[in-house]
A = this chain, B = another copy of it.
Amino acid sequence: MIKIGVIGYGYWGPNLVRNFAEIPGLMVACVADLDTKKLEIVQKRYPGVKTTTRFEDMINDPTIDAIAIATPVSTHFDLGMAALKADKHLWLEKPITQTVAQARQLVDEAEKRKRVLLVDHTFIYTGAVRKMRELIKSEDLGSIYYYDSIRVNLGLFQHDVSVISDLAVHDFSILDYLLEEQPIAVSAVGINHFPGTPENLAFITLFYDSGIIAHVNVNWLAPVKVRQILIGGSKKMITYNDLEPSEKIKVYDKGISFTDDPRKIYEMRVGYRTGDMWAPQIDGSEALKIEGGHFVDCIVNGKVPITDGLLGMRVVQLIEAATRSMNEHGRSVKLKGMPMRHGSVIE
């Protein structure tokens, strides 16, 4: 039985505790938060779980095997490093750290100590994203032309990180998982509508060597919640609506056929193809529960998580580059290749 301690019982922490409590082989031993009101809620809900306002107690407790950190990103590096140095396995909320350099240090420390380091890019563990990867891998879609995501809603305004760190980060991880190709450049624009706050709306475009273009529209100030991704391929196309209770993924047998016959240069060289639509059945399990099981599996069997520290680091590189481009009103920023493990799947 792996005993885990959770630091932070704010917005996301309760979801971690609730899911961890259901996972075979995992036991929530302790919850830490600076706010005693929140610890009281833990006590009412889970009478058997210890609580503390001092995270050090948890880190120094030798009966604790793993630590999950669900605190603001500015604290990730220090808390994560302390946990690793105490030889704990580490579950870190996204984004892994504020900078690539910090991420690199955590990755190295985890490797040195042979500890599991999982970054909680939850979407990777949803049935929908796994199904999309399966479709892309099987070449059902043909060559990928574009990825176009809208991820908008009202709030939750954050005062320390921009909407890119909060929302676009999901697309950065999904793209990394789906395409197994890293972008070569990024152009981003954004705006903060309130003085002294981070950007609350941004539009980010990623360019890939293979010709793929990816676009991400994120906004904390939208009247409606939208979670919609379009993926266009040469053979088929996908829509992914995460708010749809069933049929989240729809595969369209639609596209165009293009002739590059030079004799047709003055004619229409594009033909349309419209066929059936198909919505594959999708595993509806809660992603966090699958992810928690995967974390246990990695610890017990010495595996590397699908959402490992390197994935976390690549995502931070994109956040940094997009932020730089945004500060320069859309100027394209080049990206260099980062280390990457290939082909992870959930078993």
- Residues of A at the B interface (CB closer than 8 Å) are 21-22, 44-48, 145-146, 148, 150, 152, 154-155, 157, 159, 185, 187, 189, 191, 193-197, 201, 203, 205, 207, 211, 213, 215, 217, 219, 221-225, 230, 232, 237-239, 243, 245-247, 250, 252-256, 258, 260, 265-270, 272, 274-281, 325, 329-332
Residues of B with C-beta under 8 A to A44: 21-22
Give the 7 A-B CB pairs with smallest separation, nearest first: A47-B48, A187-B330, A223-B252, A223-B237, A157-B270, A277-B279, A329-B332
A224 touches B230 (CB 8 A): yes
12 contacts between A and B (CB under 8 A): A22-B44, A150-B150, A159-B270, A189-B207, A194-B270, A203-B205, A207-B329, A221-B232, A223-B239, A253-B281, A277-B278, A277-B279
Residues of B with C-beta under 8 A to A254: 154, 223
A146 to B272, CA, bound (A): 34
A230 touches B222 (CB 8 A): yes
Specify the chain B residue showing the minimal Cβ separation from A252.
Answer: B223
> Is the contact region of chain A dominated by helix, strand, or loop, or is it mixed?
strand
B278 touches A274 (CB 8 A): no
Known: A239-B223, A281-B275, A332-B329. A21 touches B48 (CB 8 A): no
A256 to B223, CA, bound (A): 10
Q: How many copies does the complex hold?
A: 4
A256 to B193, CA, bound (A): 11
Interface centre among A189, A194, A246, A266 (most CB of B within 10 A): A189
A256 touches B221 (CB 8 A): yes
Residues of B with C-beta under 8 A to A213: 189, 191, 201
Specify the chain B residue showing the minimal Cβ separation from A278.
Answer: B278
B230 touches A211 (CB 8 A): no
Residues of B with C-beta under 8 A to A280: 276
Residues of B with C-beta under 8 A to A260: 194-196
Residues of B with C-beta under 8 A to A255: 154, 221
B230 touches A146 (CB 8 A): no
Interface centre among A185, A215, A275 (most CB of B within 10 A): A215
Residues of B with C-beta under 8 A to A278: 276-279
A155 touches B238 (CB 8 A): no
A252 to B213, CA, bound (A): 33
Residues of B with C-beta under 8 A to A272: 154-155
A223 touches B217 (CB 8 A): no
Contact of A187 among B187, B230, B274 (CB under 8 A): B187
Specify the chain B residue showing the minimal Cβ separation from A332.
Answer: B329
Contact of A157 among B145, B222, B268, B332 (CB under 8 A): B268
B332 touches A191 (CB 8 A): no
